[in-house]
Amino acid sequence: MPRKKHYNNPMPAGMNFLNDFENKYPNCWNEIDKFINNSSNTSRINHKELVKYEANSLSGLLRFKYKTYLLNNEKKIEELFLCLYSWKEHKQIFNFDRELFDILIEQATDFENINIPYETLLHPFFPVIYVNNHIGGYDGFFAFFDELFWEDSYLVLNFLLINSVDDTDFISIPLNPNETLKESLKHTNFSDDNNDNDILILSSQLLQLFLYLCAENKDVESCQTGRKSTIKNTYKELNIWNVGLRIGNSIRKGQAQNDQIVQEDDIVTSDEISSLEKQHKRKRAHSRRGHWHHYWKGSKKSNNQYLVLKWIAPTFINCTDDNKPFVQHSIE
């Protein structure tokens, strides 16, 4: 049964979720604030420090302060607590243009598309972000890094998918430095029972969106800068970013010229295109999917080498205009 949506509410779902969480756990941030004030470091605690603090203190706080016996959901509530504590200060919200969103989601079915180093993820905008787009039956999702302590220390990319405080799911992807993102996806942990293939597809979709925000050539524009004031969780505190407006407008313009260019049936393989060209037949309008391009910059000897990620927009063939991507970016 489809999940109920709340399209008429002007407040982003992420902010509503934060307010509902605080109502369910009143004064829930005080214990963390006390920890910060008692710390020798007077600066605002970062998310990595929160994770270390959480391991010793958060379970007890939730059990005894709120009389909450969490049992199997304990880890989920802990992650909720930590994610929202980090997010509530800056409230970064990203709205993907629908056309760009659909193209990135379409890429997710090709797992070779993410056969790239995990370092491509290490350029996020902020420690915790909220993406305000409906996906997989959820109103949106938070994304943030965690740290997992096994024999080695691994980063974990977490996606908190939300509808309400009592209706959330987590997807966690451990990032092994010796594996590509495609390989890391096999270790995905999901907080609810579901079909393994469905989980992989949803995880890949979330990765595509997060990767775009890590790309050097991302199309992101600020449409509201939150006012600095006492945190009251009002709309004016939100930092809102529009993602892919230029790309989306270009795609819509192309669609107006030829409404067949991005239909799924029009996507053909390079072999099919080659065969048609040999027969001297003109193929009807079709598209070649977008994909990721990465390369290293800097010097390994100087210890300043880093990985650059770029997104290559789809190329539309046999449109009314020349065969070219709607949005072109230079590749070094």
For the chain, which residues make up each domain, given as ranges?
A: 13-243, 247-325
Spatial contact of 212 and 191, defined as CB atoms under 8 Å apart: no
Max avg pLDDT among 30-39, 104-113, 187-196? 104-113
According to the model, what pLDDT value does residue 330 have?
40
Q: Checking phi first, is residue 39 left (phi over 0); if not, alpha (psi -120 to 50) or beta?
A: beta
* DSSP bridge pairs for 325: 315
Residue of 241 and 229 predicted with greater confidence: 241
pLDDT band per the 50, 70, 90 thresholds, residue 3: very low
According to the model, what pLDDT value does residue 14 have?
93
> Rounded to 5, what percent of the chain is helix, strand, coil?
40, 25, 40
Mean pLDDT value across the chain = 76
According to the model, what pLDDT value does residue 106 have?
92
According to the model, what pLDDT value does residue 40 have?
47
For the stretch 48-91, pLDDT in tens is 555 555 544 555 555 556 555 444 455 567 778 878 988 998 89
Dihedral sign (CA 101, 96, 3, 89): positive
Residues in the chain: 332
According to the model, what pLDDT value does residue 59 have?
55
- In angstroms, the CA 220 to CA 96 distance is 9
According to the model, what pLDDT value does residue 132 have?
96
Q: Whose structure tokens read 């959330």? A: 168
- In angstroms, the CA 142 to CA 311 distance is 22
- Comparing CA positions, the residue from 323, 311, 256, 253 lying closest to residue 286 is 323
According to the model, what pLDDT value does residue 275 have?
59
Spatial contact of 325 and 314, defined as CB atoms under 8 Å apart: yes
pLDDT band per the 50, 70, 90 thresholds, residue 180: very high
Instruction: Give the pairing of strands 167-175 and 140-149.
Output: unpaired
Spatial contact of 291 and 120, defined as CB atoms under 8 Å apart: no
- In angstroms, the CA 62 to CA 57 distance is 9
- In angstroms, the CA 103 to CA 123 distance is 22
- Apex 313 CA angle, 312 and 314, nearest 5: 120
Instruction: Answer whether residue 10 shows pLDDT above 80.
Output: no
- Apex 297 CA angle, 329 and 128, nearest 5: 75
Residue of 156 and 2 predicted with greater confidence: 156
CB atoms under 10 Å from CB of 271, counted, come to: 8
